[in-house]
């Protein structure tokens, strides 16, 4: 049984943990907020354990369920502790004051920046940034499995994450190389803006973006 380490104990950590337990993984939640982490681990039940960021990573896969602004520090803190791992970047580097711009410079993406920080010593896969935490609990929307878009330069690493996604009841959609994260992140600037804008009051962080049919 594989172990998935999730750094972070917020809503996305919770949603991804629920899906990974569904995929019959062990889940380890590493959260700075000890109480929030304990509460989440208790809620998740059998298969879930807690710890603190900086503790060594069990298993091969680590999901960074932390804000874009915190990734750099976390990666530097781990140093060589992430070597050889598959690092999943789920972030949306969106300026939430206005939902009008990305925090990344044009022509790059959070996932590519994470890969650069890791200097090739770990494989970065972009995933889960296009799903909202609330929809992950159910795993379905309008009777269909959620789409989870993936991007990454290691086909092997992407295959591992694809299998976890599929095993958790969702549909993996392979968008291509890691640089496609630019479009995956741009897409969410738009979709997040729809949730807060006046034009569509019924979009309320409960939507899902899906390729049909």
**Residues in contact with its own copies by the rule CB under 8 A:** 100, 106-107, 141-142, 144, 149, 173-176, 179-180, 182-184, 186-187, 189-191, 193-194, 197, 199-200, 203, 206-213
Q: Which is nearer to its own copies, 118 or 187 (CB)?
A: 187
Q: Which is nearer to its own copies, 85 or 126 (CB)?
A: 126
CA–CA separation, 3 and 57 (whole Å):
9
Q: In terms of DSSP bridges, do strands 61-64 and 86-89 run parallel, antiparallel, or are they unpaired? A: parallel
Measured N-to-C along each axis, helices 110-118 and 68-78 cross at an angle, to the nearest 10 degrees, of 10
User: In the bound complex, what is the minimum distance in angstroms from residue 189's beta carbon to its own copies?
Assistant: 5
Q: Which is nearer to its own copies, 118 or 189 (CB)?
A: 189
User: In the bound complex, what is the minimum distance in angstroms from residue 101's beta carbon to its own copies?
Assistant: 9
Q: Which is nearer to its own copies, 24 or 163 (CB)?
A: 163
CA nearest 82: which of 62, 103, 64, 96?
A: 62
Query: Is the C-alpha dihedral spanning 153, 156, 157, 162 positive or negative?
Result: positive
Preceding omega of 37 cis (within 30 degrees of 0): no
User: In the bound complex, what is the minimum distance in angstroms from residue 86's beta carbon to its own copies?
Assistant: 18
User: In the bound complex, what is the minimum distance in angstroms from residue 200's beta carbon to its own copies?
Assistant: 7
Q: In terms of DSSP bridges, do strands 144-145 and 140-141 run parallel, antiparallel, or are they unpaired? A: antiparallel
């Amino acid at each position: 049984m594989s172990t998935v380490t999730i750094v972070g104990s917020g809503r996305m950590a919770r949603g991804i943990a629920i899906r990974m337990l569904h995929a019959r993984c062990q889940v380890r939640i590493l959260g700075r907020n000890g109480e929030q982490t304990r509460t989440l681990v208790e809620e998740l039940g059998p298969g879930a354990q807690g710890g603190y960021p900086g503790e060594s990573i069990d298993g091969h896969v680590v999901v960074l369920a932390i804000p874009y602004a915190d990734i750099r520090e976390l990666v530097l803190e781990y140093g060589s502790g992430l070597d050889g791992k598959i690092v999943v970047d789920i972030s949306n580097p969106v300026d939430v004051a206005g939902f009008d711009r990305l925090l990344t410079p044009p022509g790059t993406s959070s996932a590519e920046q994470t890969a650069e920080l890791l200097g090739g010593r770990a494989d970065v896969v972009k995933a889960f940034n296009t799903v909202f935490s609330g929809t992950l609990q159910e795993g379905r929307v309008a009777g269909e499995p959620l789409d989870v878009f993936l991007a990454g330069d290691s086909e092997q690493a992407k295959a591992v994450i694809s299998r976890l996604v599929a095993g958790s009841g969702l549909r993996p959609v392979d968008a291509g190389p890691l640089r496609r994260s630019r479009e995956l992140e741009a897409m969410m600037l738009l979709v997040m803006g729809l949730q807060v804008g006046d034009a569509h009051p019924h979009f309320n962080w409960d939507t899902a973006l899906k390729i049909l049919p």
